[in-house]
């Protein structure tokens, strides 16, 4: 089991590092630009070329069944699920095969609304409760996958 962080705008990198170290899991921190990561043999920084989906492609090409992809990017989450990997949003919300279709549809609707120039606001501020939900969801995902024996 490997954890892939879609890291450019990921607010829970430190939390993912802690959980991964507790379970002895490899973490790939994938971004379009250099970022500092802890010096640890299980944490590897991957800087990909600039481009809209280059980091997503890198992750999606490597994720295997049972791996965990941490991302806010709904299309990347869909690609991870298609490979039988887990997909978690930084707020702890798991993407599932049952929920990904409606998430993709909502994303398309919001893109259309924004294209008309309507002001839709942004996401609510990321807070301590979101971090807590993420930690719990990541821990539960790892435990569930380990019980499955992959």
Q: What is the pLDDT of residue 116?
A: 79
CATH code of the domain in which 98 resides: 3.40.50
Question: Coil, strand, or helix at residue 87?
Answer: strand
Separation CA 40–CA 50 (nearest Å): 26
pTM for the model: 0.86
Query: In the sheet that 43-47 helps form, which strands lie side by side, from edge to edge?
Result: 43-47, 26-31, 2-6, 68-70, 86-88, 94-95
The alpha carbon dihedral of 149, 26, 92, 101 has a sign of negative
Average pLDDT per 10 consecutive residues for the chain, totaling 150 residues:
94 96 97 94 95 92 97 93 96 85 67 72 83 96 88
Containing structural domain, residue 137: 2-148
The count of structural domains within the chain is 1
């Amino acid at each position: 089991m490997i954890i892939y962080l879609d890291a450019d705008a990921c607010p829970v990198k430190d939390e993912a590092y802690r959980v991964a170290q507790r379970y002895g899991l490899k973490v790939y921190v994938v971004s379009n630009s250099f970022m500092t990561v802890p010096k640890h043999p299980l944490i590897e920084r991957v800087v990909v070329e600039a481009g809209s989906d280059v980091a997503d492609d890198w992750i999606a090409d490597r994720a295997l069944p049972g791996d965990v992809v941490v991302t806010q990017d709904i299309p990347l989450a869909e690609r991870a699920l298609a490979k039988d990997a887990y997909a978690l949003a930084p707020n702890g919300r798991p993407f599932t095969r049952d929920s990904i279709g409606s998430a993709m549809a909502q994303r398309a609707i919001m893109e259309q609304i924004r294209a008309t120039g309507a002001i839709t606001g942004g996401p609510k501020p990321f807070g301590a409760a979101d971090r807590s939900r993420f930690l719990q969801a990541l821990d539960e995902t790892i435990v569930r996958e380990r019980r499955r024996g992959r």
